[in-house]
Amino acid sequence: MSAPGETVSANLRPARLSGALSVAVAFGALVSLGGGLTTVFAVEALGLALLAVGATVRRDRSRPAGDALVAVALAVVLGALAFLWIDTRDLLVAARAVPGMVGVLVLALGVIPARGRGSRRLVKVGSGLVLLSVFATAVVLKPPLQTLLVGTVATVLAWDFGENAIGLGAQLGRRAETYRVELAHGFASAAVGAGAVVAGKTVAGVGTPGFPLGVFALLLTGLLLLAGALHD
C-alpha cells in the first residue's frame, strides 16, 4: 500500500510495540528455559537495549553516534557470549545457551534495523535459533514438559510479533498509530499460545503412558498433514 501524494518520508520501519514485544518474548523464552546463567542473560539484555537506542539515534539524531552505539551493543552481546564460555567452560551449557543468545540478537537486528525496513528472514532465522536452544535444553537438561512448551510457544509468538511488526511497518510505517491493532493481534496470538500449552499438557496426560512413542508420532503426523491441508 502506498499513498501516492505522501512524499514526506513515511518511515516504513517495523512497528515499535510489536518489535519490542518480539525481542522481549524471545528473550523471555530463553530465560524461561532456566539453568542459571542470570548474569550472562542480564549482560545480553543490556546489549539489546543499547541496540534499540543505537538504531533510533542513528536514524533520528546522528548517524556516527548511532553507528557507535550499535557497535558497542554488538560488542556487549559478544562480551556476554565470551563471559558465558569463560564462566562455565562447559560445551553442553554453550550448546543450549549460545544458539538462543545469538538468535535473540539476530531477531532484534531484524525488527530494530539500523537501516532498511526490517527483515523477515532475520526474524525467521533468529526465532529458529531460539527454538534450537529449546530443543538443546530438552536434550541436555530434560526439564519438565511445561517448561519446554512455554519455551516453544514463546518462540513462535516472538516470530509472530516480529513478522507482524515488519508487515505493519511496510504497510503503514511508524508515523501511523498502530498500537491498538498490535495489541489485538498480540492478545489473540498469546491466547492461542496459552491454548497450545494447555493442549500439549492435556495430550501428555492422556496419551503417552499407554501409547508407544512411534504410534503417537504417527498420530501427530496425521494431525500436521491435516493442519497443512487447511492452509491450501
Partner 1 sequence: MTDRRTRRTERWRGVIGVALVALTAGLLLTLPNVVLLSVAGVVFAAYPALTREPAPVLSLERRLDDERPGQGDPVEVTVELANEGDATLFDCRVVDGVPETLRVTDGAPRHAGVLRPGDSLTFSYTVRAERGKHPFDPATVVVRDPAGAREVEQSVARDTEIDCTVADAAAPLRDQTLADVGRVTADDGGSGVEFHRTREYQRGDAPSRIDWKRFARTGSLSTVEFRRERAASVVLVVDAREPAYRGREGEPHAVAYSVSGARQVAASLAGSRNRVGVAALGRSFAWLEPGAGRSHVDDVEALLATHEALSPTPPDGDCPLDDQVERLRERLDDRSQVVLFSPLTDDAICETARSIEARGHAVTVVSPTVTDRDGPERRLAVAERRHRLSDLRNAGIRVVEWAPERPLAAALAATSEGVVA
82 forms part of the interface with partner 1 (CB under 8 A): no
Task: Report phi then psi at 90, rounded to 5.
Answer: -125, 115
Kindly state the cell numbers that stand for 22: 518480539
Among 24, 138, 140, 190, binds partner 1 (CB under 8 A): 138
Which of positions 147-176 make contact with partner 1 (CB under 8 A)? 148-149, 152-153, 156, 159-160, 163-164, 167-168, 171-173, 175-176
210 forms part of the interface with partner 1 (CB under 8 A): no
To the nearest whole angstrom, how small is the minimum distance from the Cβ of residue 210 to partner 1? 12
Kindly state the cell numbers that stand for 37: 546463567
Who contacts 139 (Cβ-Cβ below 8 Å, separation ≥6)? 96
CA distances from 174 to 53, 116, 159, 212 (A): 16, 13, 19, 52
* Cα 72 from Cα 76, distance rounded (Å): 6
* Cα 84 from Cα 115, distance rounded (Å): 30
189 forms part of the interface with partner 1 (CB under 8 A): yes
Give the interface with partner 1 as residue ranges (CB under 8 A). Answer: 1-10, 124, 131, 134-135, 138-139, 142, 144-145, 148-149, 152-153, 156, 159-160, 163-164, 167-168, 171-173, 175-178, 180-181, 184-185, 188-189, 192-193, 195-197, 199-200, 203-204, 208, 213-214, 216-217, 220-221, 223-224, 227-228, 230-231
